[in-house]
Chains A and B, each alone.
Chain A
Amino acid sequence: MSIETLVEGVTTGRLSRRGFLQGAVALGLSMSGAVALLEACTSGTQGTSKADLTFVVWSYGVETIRDNIKKLEAKVSGLHVNFQDFAWTNYHDTMVARFAAKTPTDVCYSSDHWLSEWAAAGWLSPLEQKYPDLNGYTSDYFPYVIQGMTYQGKNYGIPYYADTWAFLYNEDHLKKAGISQPPTTWAELAQQSQQIKAKGIANYPVILLFAQDDPGSIEVWTSMVFSLTDGHLFDDSLNPVFNKGGSAAAKTIDWISGALNTSKILDPASLTSQEIPVVKAMESGAHTFTILETYNQAELNKSGSGPFSGQFKMAPMPGDTHNTVGYVRFYAVTDQLTKRDTSVIKFGDDFLQYFGGKPDGAISPVVKRWAVENGLGFGWKSLWDDADVRKAFSTWGNPDMLRQNQQLARSKEGLTKYYPSWDVFTRSELQKAYLGQVSTTAALTAIADKWNSLKKG
C-alpha cells in the first residue's frame, strides 16, 4: 500500500479515517504528519462528502442503466457510481471470483438462484443490517419475490425486476395450421406440433432454452414440472420427491425425450440454445412454441423484430395446474458496503431507493422505466395500478394474461446454499436423459443422490 492508495481510499470513502491513520503510520509517517495529511485530504469534502459506489450487473439494457445512473448522480450530490457489467451466462462465476478476491463491489445484481450461496459465503448483507427502511416494502411484493430474496428469514434485496416463465406461441402458425386455440396440456402441445410439422409450417415447432451453460434452463424445466399435478421437486423438509415413480419430473423428462427423439417436434438445437438464440429463432418463424421469460414477449412483438411481430401470444403453461416459475433478480448489498464509511452507506441507501425502492414516496422510476420501455416484470403488486405500465404492456401482450401468470407463479423449490451446485450437476444429467443416454429413472436417481450428498455437506 502506498500513500497515494491511502489518499484515494480516504477521499472516496473506501477507507475509514482510522484505517487511513493506521496505514500512514505503518508507512513510516509520524502520527502528527498522518493527521495533517488526513485533514488536507478530507477538508474539501467535509459537509459535501464524495464517494464512489461500485455497482456490478449482468449485461442487459446497459445504456438504460448508464442513463439511470446519470440521473441519480445529478440528484445526489457527491455520489459517483462506478459501473461494471458482465455477460449473464458468466455472471455467477465472475461474481464468485470478484467476491473471493475481495474486488470492490458495493451493490450488485443477484438472483434467487444464488442468494443462499452468496449469503452463506458472507458476501451479501441482509437489508436489516444497514437499510431497515428498505425492508418495509415487502408487503407489496408478490410471494415468489419475497421467497426469492429471503435467506434464513432475512430479506437480502429489493427487486430489479421480477418475472415469470411464460408459454409463448406464434398465432400466425396456429392459424395456418387451422388451430383455433393454443394447447392447454402437454399432450395437446405434442398433437398440435405434429399437425404444424405435417403441414410444413415449422420443421421443429417447439424450441426450448435448454443450453447446459444457461442458468435459465433449470427454470424452464422446473416450470414444466410445476405445471403438472403434484408438481413439486422437494417436500417441506427439502427431501427430493422428484425421484419417486410417476413423479411430475419424470413425466416432464419423458415428454421432452419423446419430443426430441420420437416425434421430433422439439428442435435438437434446444440443447445448446441460450435465451437470445431462442428469441431470434422464434422471431424468424422457424418455431411455433417456446417457453421464455415473459419480458421476451415484448421483444418478440416489438415493431421491426421480424415478419411475425405482433403475432406472439401468451397462454397459461400447458399442464394440469398451469403453475410456472416466478423469479426475482434483485439489487443486493455486499458485505463490503456495510463496512464502508457512514457517508458511503448513506449513498447506498440513496442508490437503492432510486433504483428499486420508493425514493419520493412512489415506486422507483427505474422499476417503472424497465417495465414501460423493456417490458420487464416487476415485484410490486401495486404497480399493476399504474396506467402507464398497463398501457405499455397492452402494446405487446395481454395484461390480464400476464397478471394471471403472475398469480400462478411459484418460487423455485430447494433454494439453499447448495442449489447452484446441484443445478449445474442437474442440467447435464437432464440432458443425458433427454438424449436417451440414460433412463429417466437413472437420471432422477443420480440427481436425488447429488442433492442428498450436498445436503449432508
Chain B
Amino acid sequence: MAAFSLYPIGYSVYLSLHKEVLTDPLKNPFVGFQNFSNVLHSYYLVSSLVSTAAFMAMAVPGVMIFGLLSALLLNEAFAGARILRVAILLPWAMPAVVSGIVWRWLLNGDYGLLNSALYQLGIIHDYIPWLSQPALARVGLAVAHVWREGPLAAIFLLAGLQTISPDLYSAAAVDGAGRVAAFRRITVPLLRPTIVIVLIYETIVAATTFDLVYVMTGGGPADATSLISWFAYAEVFKFLDLGAGAALAFLIALVLLGVIVLYLRILRSEERR
C-alpha cells in the first residue's frame, strides 16, 4: 500500500514544492507554492481548460446517452442479445493506443475510410481534413472517446437495469402507463444511483483523457486538442519540469474532487426530496 500509493503521492508533493527541472539537475531548492503559481499563470492554462471543457461537454453526455440507449436495447430479449452484450465491450477492451491509431486512420484527410465512404456515397465532393481543422478535430476526438468509453457505461447501466424488478413494469402497465411513462417513473429513479456513479467515473475519465490525444492528434492542430492532462504530461516529459508537472496534476485532482463532491451533493439532495 505504502509502496504503490503513499510513496508516489508523497514524492509528488515533494516535487511540487521544489524546483525540479531535469536540465538543471544540481539546483533543486524548495520553492513553496511557486510551481502552482507558475502553472496558474502558464500560457496554456486558459486555452487547455477551454479545450477540456469543450471536450467534456461533448464526451460525457455522448458516453451517457450512448450507454443508456445501448443498455436499454441490450436489456430487451431478442435473438443474439447475449452475443451483442459481449461484442459491445470490444471497443472498451481495445488498448487506447490501438483505438487512437484506428481513429487517426479512419479520419485521415488524405486516405481515411470515412472520407472514402462519404465520397463514394456522393455526400462530399472533396476529402475533409477532419483532424486538421481545430473544431473538427475536437469533435473527432470526442467521437473516438464515446466509441471507446460508451460500451463500459452501457454495461454498468445494463447491470443497473437488470436489478429493477419486472413486476414494477407489469404493475405500471396494469395501471395504464405507457413505455415512456414507465421509463420516467420507474427506470430513471431506480437507475439514478448507477447513473451518478457512471457519470462520476466518465467525468473523471474525460477530464483526464490523455492517451487518445497522444496517439490521435498529438494535441494539434494548433493545440486545439491539447487537454489539461496533456499539459501535465508535457510539463514532465517535454518541458522536463517535474515540479510544474506534479503541481498541475494536483490541481487537476483538486478540481475533479470538487466536481465529484458536487455530483454527490446533487444526488443526496434529490434523494431527500
Within 8 A of B (CB), among A415-438: 417-418, 420-421, 424-425, 427-428, 431-432, 434-435, 437
B130 to chain A, nearest CB (A): 9
Select which of B43, B126, B223, B237 is within 8 A of A96 by beta carbon. Answer: B237
A284 to B108, CA, bound (A): 15
Select which of B108, B222, B238, B240 is within 8 A of A437 by beta carbon. Answer: B222
A187 within 8 A of B: no
**B221 and A435 contact, CB distance less than 8 A:** yes
**A269 and B234 contact, CB distance less than 8 A:** no
**Residue total for A at the interface (Cβ-Cβ under 8 A):** 45
Residues of A within 8 A of B59 (CB): none
Among B23, B109, B239: residue with most chain A CB under 10 A: B23
Within 8 A of A (CB), among B15-67: 22-25, 43
Contact with A along B149-193 (1 / 0, CB 8 A): 000000000000000000000000000000000000000000000
Select which of A92, A117, A271 is within 8 A of B220 by beta carbon. Answer: A271
The main secondary structure of chain B at its interface with chain A is loop
A229 within 8 A of B: no
A19 within 8 A of B: no
**A432 and B222 contact, CB distance less than 8 A:** yes
Instruction: State which of B1-9, B74-82, B83-91, B131-139 sits at the interface with chain A.
Output: B131-139
Determine the residue in chain B with the shortest Cβ distance to A123: B22
Contact with B along A286-323 (1 / 0, CB 8 A): 10000000000000000000000000000000000000
Select which of A121, A212, A273 is within 8 A of B22 by beta carbon. Answer: A121
Beyond A212-B220, A437-B222, is A268–B22 a contact (Cβ under 8 Å)? no
Contact with A along B108-134 (1 / 0, CB 8 A): 111100000000000000110101111
**B111 and A281 contact, CB distance less than 8 A:** yes
Q: What is the interface residue range for chain B against chain A?
A: 20 to 34
A211 within 8 A of B: yes
A445 within 8 A of B: no
| 10 closest cross-chain pairs (CB), A and B | A213-B218, A212-B220, A269-B109, A431-B222, A268-B129, A93-B237, A271-B132, A271-B221, A432-B222, A428-B223
**B240 and A96 contact, CB distance less than 8 A:** yes
Residues of B within 8 A of A434 (CB): 222
**A428 and B220 contact, CB distance less than 8 A:** yes
Beyond A268-B109, A272-B217, A428-B219, is A121–B132 a contact (Cβ under 8 Å)? no
**A203 and B234 contact, CB distance less than 8 A:** no
B226 within 8 A of A: yes
Residues of B within 8 A of A431 (CB): 220-223
A193 to B201, CA, bound (A): 51
**B110 and A424 contact, CB distance less than 8 A:** no
**A212 and B25 contact, CB distance less than 8 A:** no
Determine the residue in chain B with the shortest Cβ distance to A90: B214
B240 to chain A, nearest CB (A): 6
Determine the residue in chain B with the shortest Cβ distance to A443: B222
**B218 and A212 contact, CB distance less than 8 A:** yes
Residues of B within 8 A of A269 (CB): 108-110, 127, 129, 131-132
Residues of A within 8 A of B111 (CB): 280-281, 284
Residues of B within 8 A of A277 (CB): 108, 110
Residues of A within 8 A of B22 (CB): 96, 99-100, 121
Residues of A within 8 A of B234 (CB): 424
**A211 and B220 contact, CB distance less than 8 A:** yes
A179 within 8 A of B: no
A434 to B134, CA, bound (A): 12
